[in-house]
Chain A
Amino acid sequence: MAESKHFRIQDALDVLKARREGMQIAAMLGFSHADATKIAVVISELGRNIVNYAGTGTITVLTREDDKGKSVKIIADDKGPGIEDIDHVMLGGNSTSGGLGLGLSGSKRLMDEFHIRSSSGSGTTVTTTKWIR
């Protein structure tokens, strides 16, 4: 069983809506309150990156339930300037937007799987998954 919800991200209010709904989706699937909170925070971090660096993009929240278990996958996609040095960004502590610089590195810690695909000039796609333990 798989379901998906798609959010268009253009401004800060879109991010608030996506993270709030993402949290509800995770809770409905059976995630603990703490883990649903982490999923909401990850949506918030990825959404903020879209608004700050790309202007517009999308966030898709996919739930999946099969013999391997239940999971939530978040896909954040934009056609912005991309990230030049992904390894550097993933180390954390290098914010250019007033955050703690923990957006991507911290999100990775909160999730089970984390993939980032980006190249200068062609946008960024982050795909990250969390499983119910």
Chain B
Amino acid sequence: MNFIGIQKLENLLLVSVPRDLIDDEVIRLRRDILKAIRLYKTQIVLLDFSQVDISDSFFGRFIYSTSQMTQLMGAKIILSGLQDAVIETMVELGMTLPEVDAVLDLDDALELSRQLATEQQIEIEDGADDVTKQGKT
């Protein structure tokens, strides 16, 4: 399967959100993200907005809904690369975003993603310990 702007990188799905999408393309991108999460069994989705310089209320809704849908598929979402002017405009426009991790750029995003992966690994190992302990007692 080929998804435009979506690629698997390490343990995450990197979505490079293009600038100037029309509404139909925004909805298609959101569906492709969900399909790709399932296909690659991804647990972390990184939405990179560094190419986006205009974000109106429809686009804000895309960020909001994609974050919620991704979380409902059991994946964590990280937003990266939102430009200063975009952030200022979105907040003044009155947009609210769900609780998500946001980072400045892709470097920070990769670092956070590795950190999240390590935490998940520790949780899995802890879980395994618990099972062993329970078995012994």
Q: Using a CB–CB distance below 8 Å, which chain A residues touch chain B?
A: 12-13, 15-16, 19-20, 23, 33-34, 36-38, 40-41, 44-45, 48, 92, 95, 98-103, 105-107, 109-110
Contact = CB atoms under 8 A, between A and B. Distances in A.
Nearest to B20: A16
Contacts of B22: 12-13, 15-16
B103 to A, nearest CB: 21
Contacts of B89: 34, 37-38, 41, 110
A37 B53 CA distance: 7
B100 interface: no
A12 B95 contact: no
Contacts of A98: 23, 58, 61
Contacts of A12: 22-24
- A interface majority secondary structure: helix
Nearest to B87: A34
Interface in B89-135: 89, 92-95
Contacts of B95: 100, 102, 106
Given A44-B54, A110-B93, A33 B23 contact: no
Interface residues of B, number: 22
Interface of B: 20, 22-24, 53-58, 60-61, 64, 84-86, 88-89, 92-95
Contacts of A23: 54
A40 to B, nearest CB: 5
A45 B95 CA distance: 14
Nearest to B62: A98
A37 B64 CA distance: 20
Nearest to B23: A12
10 contacts: A19-B54, A23-B54, A37-B85, A44-B54, A98-B58, A99-B61, A100-B58, A102-B94, A106-B57, A106-B95
A76 to B, nearest CB: 14
